Structure 1
Amino acid sequence: MSVAGWLTEPLAYPFMQRACAATLAVGVAAPVAGVWATTRRLVYLTDAMSHAILAGVAAAALLGASLLVGGLVAAMAMALLVAVLVIHVRLSEDSAIGVAGQGLFALGIIGVSQSADPRALTHVLFGNPLTVTTADVIAELVVAGLVVLAVATSLPLLVATTFDPAHARTLGVRTGLVDTAVIVALGLVVVISLTTVGVLMALTLCIAPAAAARLLSLRIRRVLFLAAGLGVAAGLAGLMASYHLGLPAGPTVGVLAATEVALAALIRSAGTRFRHTGRVSPGERAAGPIHRSAGQR
C-alpha cells in the first residue's frame, strides 16, 4: 500500500472521520495549554487533574449525563478542594494536590467498576477515539477553539504573568485571576482528551509536544505553533497506526508524543554541537597565519 493509500483509506469510514476531527481538536488545544503548564510549573497539577476527572466521568456515566460536563465539574471540584486543603487545613500545595487528585481518582475507579460494560474502565483510562459521536466532536471542537482563542487574545497578559508576575501586579494585573483561567483551560483540555487518549495519557498529549517545542525554540509564539503542530502530528499518526496495526489509540499517541521529545532533544544537541564546531576562538584565529606560514616554509 502506498503512503497516500495508508493515510486516506481509513478516512472512507465515518467513524474514522469523526476520530480524526476529535484528534485534530485535542492535538491543537492540549499542547497549546500545555505550554503554560510547563512554563508555570503546573505539570503536577495537570497530572492530578487528569486523574481526578475520572470521578466526574464515572458519575456522569452512571447518571446518563454528559461525560464532558461531568469531567469538567470534577476538575473544578478538585481545584476547590486543593484550595481548601492549602488555605484552611494548612497542607502543603503538593500534598493537597496529591490527596485531592488520587482520592478523586480512586473514587472514579469505584464508580466505573459499577458499570455494566466491563470495557468502560479501559476506554476511560486509555481512550477510544473510534467510538466518538458527532456530538462529542462538536463539543471538542468548540472547547478547543475557545481555549486557543483565549490564549491568542490574551498572549501578552499570559507572558507578563508567567515570566514576571511581580511586575505584572505592580501594573494592576490580577495575576490570581489569570492563574485561575489557566487552570480552567488545562481542565478543559484534559476533559476533551478523554475520548482520544484517555485519563492516563491526557498529560502526555498536553506536556510532551509542549516540552519538545520548548527544546526547539525560546520564542513563545513559535513554541505555541510548534507545540500545536507536534500535537496534531502525534495524534493523527498515532490514530492511523492504531487503525492499521491494531494498536490501542491512546497509548500509541502517547508513545509518539514522547518520541517527539527525544527527537527534539537530539536536534537541539546536534544544533548546539554544530554551532560550537563552526566557531573559531580568538586563539585559533591568531594561530592561523602562523600555521599557514610554517606550512609554506
Structure 2
Amino acid sequence: MQRALAASILIGAVCSVLSCYLVLKGWSLMGDAISHAVLPGIVLAAVLGLPFAVGAFAAGLACALLIGYLKENSRVKEDTVMGIVFSGMFGLGLVLFTKVETDQHLLHVLFGDMLGITPRDLIEVAIIAGGTLLIVLAKRRDLLLYCFDPQHARAIGLPLGVIHYGLLVLLALTIVASLKAVGIILVVAMLVAPGAIAYLLTDRFERMLVIAACVAIGASFFGTLISFHIDGATGPCIVLLQAFVFVLAFLFAPRRGVFALKRSNSHSAG
C-alpha cells in the first residue's frame, strides 16, 4: 500500500505537469496515440526478455516519429494520422498479445495494477517520472512558448525541432512510467484531465501547473485509498475522481464555469 501511494503521487505529479502543455498545444490525442501504440513494444520486450519499459519507450517513440513523418509527407491532417497510426499499432499489439506465448502476465499492462507494484517497479517509476519532471520544469518557459506561440519561438531562435521531438520523448517516458500503475487504456485520462481542469480555473500558466498537480496528486492518492477500501481497481478509481473534479470545474469554475457564464450573460442582457 505504501508503494502504491508513493507511485501514485509520482505519476500524478509528472502527468499533471505534462498535461498542461498537451492541453495548450492541442495534443490530447497524441497522448492517446502513444499510450495505445506501446503495446506491441511491450509484448516483444516480454518475448525477448527485455524490461517492459524498453519496449514501451521504443514503440512509443516509433509511433511519434511515424505520425510526424506521415503528417509532413501527406495531405492528411494530424488528428487523422494519429487515429490511423495508434489504432494500427494497438491492433498489432493485441494480435501479438493473443498469439505470442509468454509466461509473463501482460494483462495488467492494459488496465494497470497499482497495488501490485514491486520495489523494483517503484524505483523505475521514481527514476523515469522524477527525471522527466525535472526536465519539464527546467525547460517550462521554452515549452510554454512553443505550445502557445511557435512563430514567436522561431523568431527568437528557439530550436523548434528539438523542442517538438523532446516533448514527444518526454510524453513517451511519462506513459512508460505510468503503465504498470494505471495501464495503457487509462493513462490518457491522467494526461488530459488535470490540465483541462486547471485550464478552466485559471488564466495564468504557473498557477495552472500548481492546480493541475494538486488535482492529479490528490486524485491519485485518494483514488488509491478508495480502491483499497472498496476492493476496486485502482486506475479506474483515480480516473473517476479526476472526471468528477472536471465536472465540478466545468459547472462551478469562477469565470469559465457553466453557472458563471450564465450569470454573466444574464447581467449583459440586463
> TM-score normalised to the size of structure 1?
0.82
Matched, 1:71 2:31: no
**CA–CA separation in structure 2 for the residues paired with 1:70 and 1:199:** 14
Q: Do structure 1's residue 272 and structure 2's residue 260 form an aligned pair?
A: yes
2:123 maps to: 138
Determine whether 1:35 maps to 2:20. yes
CA deviation profile, 1:228-277 (whole Å, cap 9, x unmatched): 11111111111111111011111111111111111112231388369859
- SS of structure 2 residue aligned to 1:65: coil
1:1-297 residue pairs with structure 2 within 5 A? 16-88=1-73, 91-113=76-98, 114-116=100-102, 120-121=106-107, 123-268=108-253, 269=257, 272=260, 276=264
Q: Equivalents in 1 of 2:225, 2:33: separation in Å? A: 29
Identical amino acids, percent of aligned pairs: 34
After alignment, is 60-69 or 83-92 more displaced? 83-92
Unaligned runs of 5+ in 1: 1-15, 285-297
- Aligned partners of 1:94, 1:107: CA distance in 2, in Å? 20
After the TM superposition, which of the residue ranges 40-49 and 267-276 deviates more from structure 2? Answer: 267-276
The alignment covers a number of residue pairs equal to 264
Instruction: Give the Cα separation in 1 of the matches to 2:194 and 2:129.
Output: 16
Alpha-carbon RMSD: 2.3
Residues 127 and 196 in structure 1, CA contact (< 8 A), matched pair in contact too:
yes
CA distance in 2, matches of 1:101, 1:142: 27
Contact kept? 1:209, 1:260, Cα under 8 Å:
no
CA distance in 1, matches of 2:181, 2:170: 17
Moved more, 181-190 or 195-204: 181-190
What is the alpha-carbon distance in structure 2 between the residues aligned to residue 152 and residue 118 of structure 1? 36
Conservation of the 8 A alpha-carbon contact between 2:21 and 2:144: no
Q: 1:167 to 1:142 in 2, by over 3 A?
A: same
Give, as a single letter, the amino acid of the residue that structure 1 aligns with 2:192.
I
Kindly report structure 1 stretches of 4+ aligned residues shifted beyond 6 Å.
Answer: none
Mapped to 1, the partners of 2:75 and 2:260 lie a distance apart of 45
- 2:55 & 2:104 partners in 1: Cα distance? 20
Residue 131 of structure 2 aligns with an amino acid whose one-letter code is L
List alignment gaps of at least 5 residues for structure 2.
Answer: none
